[in-house]
Amino acid sequence: MSMIRDLRAAVRPSLRKDGGTYDSTREAGTNSAVVDCAIYRDGARVPFPATLTPHEAMLQVRRDGGFAWIGLHEPTEDEFAVIAREFGLHPLAVEDAVHAHQRPKLERYDDTLFTVFKTIHYVEHDELTATSEIVETGEVMCFTGRDFFITVRHGGQGSLRALRHRLQDDPELLAKGPSAVLHAISDHVVDGYIAVADAVQDDIDEVETAVFSPGRKGGTARGVDSARIYQLKREVLEFKRAVSPLMRPMQLLSERPMRLVDPDIQKYFRDVADHLARVQEQVVGFDELLNSILQANLAQASVAQNEDMRKITSWAAIIAVPTMVCGVYGMNFDYMPELRWRFGYPLVLGITVGICFTIHRTLKRNGWL
- C-alpha dihedral, 92 to 93 to 98 to 102, nearest 10°: 100
User: Is residue 218 pLDDT above 90, yes or no?
Assistant: no
217 residue type, one letter: K
Residue 7 · residue 45 · CB < 8 Å = no
- Residue 127 makes CB contacts below 8 A (sequence gap 6+) with none
- pTM for the structure as a whole: 0.73
245: number of Cβ within 10 Å: 15
Q: Tell me the average pLDDT across 219-224.
A: 46
Alpha-helix residue ranges (DSSP H) falling in 114-225: 161-168, 171-174, 178-211
Q: Under DSSP, is residue 150 helix (H, G, I), strand (E, B) or coil? A: strand
Q: Tell which phi-psi region holds residue 283, choosing left (phi > 0), alpha (psi between -120 and 50) or beta.
A: alpha
Chain-centre distance for alpha carbon 106:
20
Return the pLDDT at 349. 81
User: Measured between alpha carbons, how far apart are the two ends of the chain, in Å?
Assistant: 89
pLDDT band of 70, cuts 50, 70, 90: very high
317 residue type, one letter: A
- Residue 73 makes CB contacts below 8 A (sequence gap 6+) with 33, 35, 152, 153, 154
> What is the full DSSP assignment across 240-265?
HHHHGGGHHHHHHHHHS--TTS-HHH
Return the pLDDT at 283. 93
Q: Specify the higher pLDDT residue, 180 or 317.
A: 180
Closest CA to 192 of 231, 135, 247: 135
- Residue 103 makes CB contacts below 8 A (sequence gap 6+) with 116, 241, 245
Angle separating helix axes 77-87 and 91-99, nearest 10 degrees: 150
Q: Output phi, psi for 209, to 5 deg.
A: -65, -40
Segments making up each domain of the chain, as ranges: 306-365
User: Is residue 222 pLDDT above 70, yes or no?
Assistant: no
Q: Tell me the average pLDDT across 57-65.
A: 90
pLDDT band of 144, cuts 50, 70, 90: very high
pLDDT tens per residue across span 235-266? 899 899 999 999 999 999 988 888 889 888 98
pLDDT band of 28, cuts 50, 70, 90: very low
Q: Tell me the average pLDDT across 29-40.
A: 76
Return the pLDDT at 220. 45
Return the pLDDT at 158. 67
Return the pLDDT at 272. 94
Query: What is 306-365's CATH number, 1.20.58.340, 3.30.930.10, 1.10.1130.10, 3.50.50.60?
Result: 1.20.58.340
pLDDT tens per residue across span 175-204? 999 999 999 999 999 999 999 999 999 888
Return the pLDDT at 300. 74
288 residue type, one letter: E
pLDDT tens per residue across span 287-311? 899 888 888 877 777 777 777 787 8
Return the pLDDT at 359. 81
pLDDT tens per residue across span 156-166? 776 888 999 99
Range with top average pLDDT, 40-44, 210-214, 226-230: 40-44
Q: Under DSSP, is residue 175 helix (H, G, I), strand (E, B) or coil? A: coil
pLDDT tens per residue across span 323-365? 887 877 777 666 677 667 777 778 778 888 888 888 888 878 8
Q: Under DSSP, is residue 239 helix (H, G, I), strand (E, B) or coil? A: helix
Radius of gyration for the alpha carbons in the chain, expressed in angstroms and rounded:
36
Helix or strand holding residue 298 (H, E): helix 263-329
pLDDT tens per residue across span 83-139? 999 899 999 999 999 988 889 999 999 889 999 999 998 887 767 766 777 888 899
Distance, in Å, from the CA atom of 188 to the CA atom of 141, rounded to the nearest integer, reads: 14
Return the pLDDT at 143. 96
- What is each CA distance from 225 to 129, 131, 229, 284, in whole angstroms? 9, 12, 7, 22
pLDDT band of 230, cuts 50, 70, 90: confident
pLDDT band of 223, cuts 50, 70, 90: very low
Burial of 364 (0-12, 13-18, 19+ CB in 10 A): exposed
Strands of the chain (E only): list them: 34-41, 44-45, 67-73, 105-109, 112-122, 135-144, 148-154
